[in-house]
Structure 1
Amino acid sequence: MDLSLRILAILFPMFALVGTGYFYGRRHESDMSVANRLNMDVFITALVFSALANKSFDLANYGGLALAMVIMILGSGAVGWAVARMTGIRPLTLSPTLMFNNSVNLGVPLAVLTFGPDVLPLAVVLFVVSTTLHFSLGVWLLDHHAKLGNLWMKPVVLATVAGLAVGSLGVPLWEPLALSVKMLGDISIPLALFSLGVRLTDGALHGWRVGLVGAVARPLAGMALAWAAARGLGLNAQQSKLMLLYGALPPAVMNYVFAERYHQEPDKVASIVLVGNLASVVFLPIALALVL
């Protein structure tokens, strides 16, 4: 009973904000594109910089964690490709949704709620790895002619480099400046959860069978690969638990955005994202039970 109450206490704030966004989006037609752009360019960028700059960041301590995330992403893509071949789904419809999970909207808040604020730099490392691969490898998979040279000009990538430099060198920040950046970063998580709820109102359920395949394959493959990568790389207990939790996350909403942009069956990808996020109500408690 105590474990169930703890899991409920961790998940309730997250799903409450998602639910609020969902019901608001059902009652009011809402265009969240401006809010989402602001969140990615300003608030999440501030969160990343604040999390990395406020710590003495030794890259050697996080290299194994970053590599484990890369292994999980690439391995999930291979699993998605194989499952797609077996089920008759187009590989480029299913595989990216297994590779790139909801590491921002759900991953960061879930990590903080589960392990406390000290885990934020670790969660940011996983988010940065996933985002960088999604905007590079993920885009290339859908369009081999896409120009990736502008990747390093993304605000979140620049914030990562700046945060790592400040944290690694131990450069002290003026306290009012650090507080201002932190306040901007604090906006990102609630806004991301609310926006996810609004976005889910656009999902199509007519392709629920395809959605169900992705909803089950994504967390099962992710958790198995996270466990194997953590053991193989000798990650410590906290990092191993964090990897397992991230392995259970549902597909990222950005998969739908990219599928629509590159004309890769966006209706089916929307179903995978929608059903996958709904299925997280089942898989996230399982993952929490394993790590707590």
Structure 2
Amino acid sequence: MAVRIISILFPLFAIAALGYVVARRRTPDLTEANRLNMDVFTPALVFGALAGRHVEASTYGWLALAGLIVIIGSGLSGRLIALLTGHNPRTLVPPMTFNNCGNLGIPVALLTFGEDAVPAAVVLFALSNTLHFSFGAWYLDHHANLWSVLRNPSVLAAIAGLSVSLLDIPIWDPLLQTVVMVGNVAIPLMLFGLGVRMATTKISTLGFALIVAISRPIIGMLIAAALIAVFDLPHIQAATLLIFGALPPAVLNFMFAERYHQEPDKVASAVLLGNLFAFLFLPIALAFVL
């Protein structure tokens, strides 16, 4: 099992490590590449994963509900931890709530269970991404325009992909394969960009970062495990949910904190340390699902 876990995680951390090494040597500017990934490659990945197979409306309904409970439960736990530790809830709650289900969640699911697990991981990613761009933005700024979430390419791709899948709308196979090939760019670019971000971010507030880095995956896994015991989820969906719970804070949390001037240095430290701690918590999650 140890060899299996290492073989699953090695490509993820190897690509991230490559990004880290490159960034330490030449500090590449990935601003435009990351924008393309958010606007083109990731939406193609989302659409291809959902539209490429027919599913019934109930197939991922319980998984989506369970994912929503994990997100809400993690956020409420973050609120309680903020009150107990004296940290600003607007700084601590978002990285506790929104995890790295894009950069790490989809690749881990893919490498663990193959293509069959990608739709489940994409459903959780689309759910978290939609909430992050809507509630997450409103939480940091009550004047934020919530309708902007409908212009988010990944959200639009999820709606379109689900519509095609649920309605069983035929798509010309070469066209679908083209979309899938474009989407295949997203995962390695996500991981490479994560490594670059880790190389250019410093841990400035260790105490705050440790709180988030440790409590985020532990609480997420506990909530996910409880839901798995209650909901009758298929094995791959249950495993994907547990992995979802174990994921570290999303890099997007730092971008939001910087945009809304919400102690970005603290959030950056939590994101960096949390993703480093993924070396510890993801193997634990995989040991339970394999």
- TM-score normalized by structure 1? 0.97
User: Which is further off, 149-158 or 247-256?
Assistant: 149-158
1:234 Cα deviation (Å)?
2.7
Moved over 6 A (4+): none
The answer to whether the Cα contact below 8 Å between 2:117 and 2:237 also exists between their aligned partners in 1 is no
**Greater mean deviation of Cα atoms: 218-227 or 235-244:** 235-244
- Paired residue for 1:267, among 262, 265, 274? 265
Residues in 1 aligned to 2:156 and 2:268: alpha-carbon distance in whole angstroms: 30
Deviations 1:257-284 (A, max 9, x none): 0001111100000010000000110111
Give 1:166 deviation, angstroms.
1.4
Give the distance between the partners of 2:107 and 2:38, measured in 1 at CA: 15
Q: Determine if the alignment matches structure 1 residue 128 to structure 2 residue 143.
A: no
CA distance in 1, matches of 2:159, 2:99: 23
* Higher mean displacement: 169-178 or 31-40: 169-178
2:170 is the alignment partner of 1:147 = no
- The farther-off stretch of 173-182 and 211-220 is 173-182
Q: RMSD value over aligned CA atoms?
A: 1.0
The corresponding residue for 1:181 is 179
Counterpart of 1:277 (choices 240, 264, 275) is 275
Deviation of 1:230 (Å):
2.5
Is residue 210–residue 270 contact of structure 2 (8 Å, CA) maintained in 1? yes
Partners of 2:131 and 2:196 lie apart in 1 by 25
For residues 37-96 of structure 1, the C-alpha deviation after alignment (integer angstroms, 9 at most, x for no partner) is 100110011111111111102121111100111100110011111111112211111111
Which amino acid in structure 2 is aligned with residue 242 of structure 1?
T
The separation in 1 between residues aligned to 2:215 and 2:82, in whole angstroms, is 10
Structure 2 residue 166 is the aligned partner of structure 1 residue 168: yes
Question: 1:221: which partner in 2?
Answer: 219
Quote the Cα distance in structure 2 between the aligned partners of 1:128 and 1:230. 20
Correspondence for 1:249: 247
What is the CA–CA distance in structure 2 between the aligned matches of 1:164 and 1:282, rounded to whole Å?
34
Q: Note the alpha carbon deviations across 1:236-276, whole angstroms, 9 max, x for none.
A: 32221111111110000000000011111000000100000
In the aligned structure 2, how far is the partner of 1:89 from the partner of 1:154?
A: 31
User: Which of residues 34, 37, 56 is equivalent to 2:35?
Assistant: 37
Give the percent of matched residue pairs that are identical in Structure 1 and Structure 2. 53
Give how far 1:231 is off.
2.4
For residue 232 of structure 1, report the CA deviation from its aligned partner: 2.6
**What is the number of equivalent residue pairs in this alignment?**
290
- Separation in 1 of the partners of 2:91 and 2:149? 23
Q: Which residue of 2 aligns with 1:193?
A: 191
Q: Output the amino acid matched with 1:83.
A: I
Greater mean alpha carbon deviation, residues 203-212 or residues 232-241: 232-241
Post-superposition shift, 1:202? 2.3
Asked if 1:237 corresponds to 2:235, the answer is yes
2: CA distance, partners of 1:99 / 1:197: 22
1:76 corresponds in structure 2 to 74
TM-score, structure 2 normalization: 0.98
List aligned pairs for 1:2-151, cutoff 5 A: 3-151=1-149
Paired residue secondary structure (2:59): helix
My pick for the range that moved more, 24-33 or 136-145, is: 24-33
Measure, in 2, the Cα distance between the counterparts of 1:243 and 1:166: 24
Aligned residue type for 2:241: M
Unaligned residue ranges in structure 2 (runs of 5+): none
> Whole-Å Cα distance in 2 between the matches of residues 150 and 96 of structure 1?
19
> What letter is aligned with 1:34?
E
Contact 2:79 2:89 in 1 (8 A): yes
CA distance in 2: counterparts of 1:131 and 1:195, whole angstroms: 18
In 1, the alpha carbon distance for the partners of 2:80 and 2:211 equals 12
AA matched with 2:15: L
Residue aligned with 1:59, SS: coil
Deviates more, 1:238-247 or 1:258-267: 238-247
